[in-house]
Structure 1
Amino acid sequence: MILPGTSRLFGACSLLLALAACTPPEPIRIGLLAGLSDRGSDFGESVRNGVILAVEQQNQAGGINGRKIELLVRDDGQDKEKARQAAQELIAQHPDIIIGPVTSSMAAVVMPLMNQAGQIIISPTVASTDFYGKDDNLFRVNCTTREAAIQHARVLYARGSRRVGLAFDASNLPFGETWVKGFSSEFEKLGGVTSGTAGFESTASTRFSDVINRLLADRPDALIFVASTLDTARLAQQARRLAPGLPLSSSEWAASGEALSEMGGSAVEGMLMTHAYNRDDPGVAYQNFRSAFKQRFQREFGSFSLLAYDTANVVFAALQKRDKDEDMKAALLKYGPYQGVQQEIRFDANGDATRRVFFTEIHDGSLHQLK
């Protein structure tokens, strides 16, 4: 015997169950913190584009265990207060992980907040040795400034340089200072001399001619610029005006694909540049990434896009494998190593990875990798 109203109750319950079954599962939220509005925003945009490509590809493949990925993007503006606010906004949304920030100076600002909140964060590009060897909530995919600078010193010395002057952006001091220190130590071991250093604050009114003149006073036979793409281009323009024949090179910070050549024009012709990938790689994974990036963004990628793409895919791999109640830090450490587009990514117990360094030169407006 069916009691009055029971059939309606069963029908209502069945409808609710059906609606619940049709409701898509909650997305996996991943934060992205990058400088997208500052003078060096090409750096942050390059990272953002690499992450976006990875997220779109993963969602097209069904997401992670049936859940789509929602990317929460915040701009740190390469500014301390803006970075703190952006970090707090991301933390409040409880993402599974935050990708970024892209500079060491912003990492120094936001890491106390991340550690206090227990928020795991993974940076594609932070390289300062200030963040190396610490058991905290930061994972790093890039090599350290020391590793890159040592290789740069060896290449310049092998090319005949013996007195090198370095200009560095003091507004990103954790990166610039440790890069200069690593280079100088290795270069002097080889028999060279760091003839002088010149720090500057990156602003629209910075007199880059004054920076170059300070370095030229010590009679260097080569100059290195440890700065963003835009500032490296401006430094190169002044160096070509004041010392036309002096060899120039830049750190990996300026390696935003063809952007340096676009900004610097003839002034960056012949410039040596450090970067983090093999431009001549014939491998399928690299060629597929390059093609997909160009199709999506209508331009060639830079080192930072590839690093960011690798970083996002590391995150996806760990998310797919982790147990229901397993925290993200444990998962990242447990399920590696991870295969990147070109290099294997292997974290040590402190969440530090390393990466091979490559060098290119600009000729006729294009980058040509050193053999």
Structure 2
Amino acid sequence: MSVQRILIFLLAALLAACGKPEPIVIGFIAGLSNRTTDTGEAARNALTLAIEERNAAGGIGGRPLQLLVGDDGQDAATAHQAMQALIRARPAVIVGPYTSAMADVILPLADAAGVVVLSPVITAMHFVGKDDMLIRLNRSTRDNAADYARVLAERGLHRLAVAYDVRNRAFSESWLAELRSQFPAYGGEVIAAVEFESAADTMFSEVAARLLETEPDGLLFIANAVDVARLAQQTRKLSPNVPLAAAEWAASEQLVELGGQAVNGLLIAQSHDRTNEAPRFTAFRDAYRARFQRDPGYSAIASYDAGIVLFQALERRKSGQSVKDAVLRHGPYPGLQHLIEIDAFGDSTRPIHFAEIRDGQFVLVR
């Protein structure tokens, strides 16, 4: 090789070394243009904050993190298109989705492409115990329904009427099946189950009337925050004092904002303790408030935890190790409120906290 060629080679190598390091692409997919935008936007905000903080600290091995956002619209065709676009960007991982119905759509695409899907919140039983590209950071519907069955029975609610949203059928039917299976052990019975499809023109007054005609001890709604608020409002017009409960899916800030007085007394479970004053959690809460001018809800907290898991796994990942294997092997992970341990199937769990809405606030009751 001539001296001139050697100099050109060395100059090219030097310029490459001085260039900006290639970013690590992190995909994100959630509902950002539909009736569950509250959870999707809060999740995106929290992951954005986590990435900003990590980049300010030097990224991963000197490489910055780049967030690419996809909107599933809570619609199968939209989710399919958004997921394909994310996969083409060759992300290290995709954080999301935030409903089980959308997981049904995007997981086959992730499996085919070999891309890890890190979901902070999905719970449906048919995602549990599977050797696939999905990693879950939440409890299962079996876990949650069992706790609800016990708490509802302790409150004297043994004859329950349930309304459930079939637009997120993968979640709602799994949740209802688990409740029906476990409620009898506590002397409880689901005496009526009324399905509806979430939409702006859904006749919630008719759903409420059908539930109440069975003369139940209480009503349970398996639906998003917007629809639970509307169901509660229609129910209160017909029966002001019937006890209400909702599945954990609805436990966002939007529930109290939209529900008003109608959701007072409603029982709901949450995956975090809002009263927690541990320094790690309060630092996140304060940073989130400063950045987005609102409190973080459950999807925000779970998504920030996903960032914690992802960053530690990528930082400790060995040469040639897949991202999935890194996530499975390099825990446990120090979540905001609990230690996150992930099993060989990519399943995890979280504590659960029951709250009652009182005067526009979630008040822990157990």
TM-score by length of 2: 0.97
Post-superposition offset of 1:20: 2.1
Partner of 2:75: 79
Counterpart Cα distance in 1 of 2:296 and 2:304: 11
Partner of 2:228: 232
Pair 1:343-2:338 in alignment: yes
Post-superposition offset of 1:17: 4.1
Pair 1:22-2:21 in alignment: no
Counterpart Cα distance in 1 of 2:13 and 2:94: 34
Pair 1:171-2:167 in alignment: yes
**Secondary structure in 1 aligned to 2:81?**
helix
Task: Map residues 61-140 of structure 1 onto 2, 5 A cutoff.
Answer: 61-140=57-136
Counterpart Cα distance in 2 of 1:10 and 1:205: 72
Partner of 1:251: 247
Task: Map residues 182-201 of structure 1 onto 2, 5 A cutoff.
Answer: 182-201=178-197
Instruction: Return 5+ residue gaps in structure 1 as ranges.
Output: none
Aligned AA (1:299):
R
Counterpart Cα distance in 2 of 1:113 and 1:203: 27
**CA deviation profile, 1:169-212 (whole Å, cap 9, x unmatched):** 11101100111111222221111111111110011110001111
The number of residues matched between the two structures is 365
More moved, 71-80 vs 42-51: 42-51
Post-superposition offset of 1:272: 1.0
Aligned AA (2:271):
A
Pair 1:209-2:205 in alignment: yes
Aligned AA (2:38):
D
Post-superposition offset of 1:231: 0.4
Counterpart Cα distance in 2 of 1:207 and 1:299: 31
Partner of 1:363: 358
**Secondary structure in 1 aligned to 2:195?**
strand
Alignment match of 1:219 (pick from 209, 212, 215) = 215
More moved, 275-284 vs 298-307: 275-284
Counterpart Cα distance in 2 of 1:263 and 1:324: 50
Aligned AA (2:261):
S
Specify the structure having the higher radius of gyration (Cα).
Answer: 1
Aligned AA (1:204):
A
Q: CA RMSD in A?
A: 1.4
Alignment match of 2:287 (pick from 288, 292, 314) = 292
Pair 1:328-2:323 in alignment: yes
Pair 1:274-2:261 in alignment: no
Aligned AA (1:215):
L
Post-superposition offset of 1:21: 2.6
**Secondary structure in 1 aligned to 2:94?**
strand
Post-superposition offset of 1:168: 0.8
**Secondary structure in 2 aligned to 1:180?**
helix
**CA deviation profile, 1:8-45 (whole Å, cap 9, x unmatched):** 87775565444323211100011001110011111211
Structure 1 ranges of 4+ moved more than 3 A:
8-18
Aligned AA (1:363):
R
**CA deviation profile, 1:238-268 (whole Å, cap 9, x unmatched):** 0111111001111111111x32111111111
**Secondary structure in 2 aligned to 1:236?**
helix
Post-superposition offset of 1:324: 2.1
**CA deviation profile, 1:97-143 (whole Å, cap 9, x unmatched):** 11111100000111111111111111001110010011111000010
**CA deviation profile, 1:61-104 (whole Å, cap 9, x unmatched):** 11011000001110010000011111111111111111111100
Pair 1:260-2:260 in alignment: no
More moved, 100-109 vs 45-54: 45-54
Alignment match of 1:150 (pick from 130, 139, 146) = 146
**Secondary structure in 2 aligned to 1:305?**
helix
Q: Alignment identity in percent? A: 45
Counterpart Cα distance in 2 of 1:182 and 1:280: 29
Cα gap change, 1:10 to 1:349, in 2 (>3 Å): closer
Aligned AA (2:283):
N
Q: Is the 8 A contact 1:336 1:346 kept in 2?
A: yes
Counterpart Cα distance in 1 of 2:41 and 2:334: 24
Counterpart Cα distance in 2 of 1:294 and 1:112: 36
Counterpart Cα distance in 2 of 1:50 and 1:157: 36
**Secondary structure in 2 aligned to 1:91?**
helix
Counterpart Cα distance in 2 of 1:237 and 1:243: 10
TM-score by length of 1: 0.95
Alignment match of 2:32 (pick from 32, 36, 46) = 36
Post-superposition offset of 1:299: 0.3
Q: Is the 8 A contact 1:195 1:219 kept in 2?
A: no
Counterpart Cα distance in 1 of 2:180 and 2:285: 35
Q: Is the 8 A contact 1:276 1:303 kept in 2?
A: yes
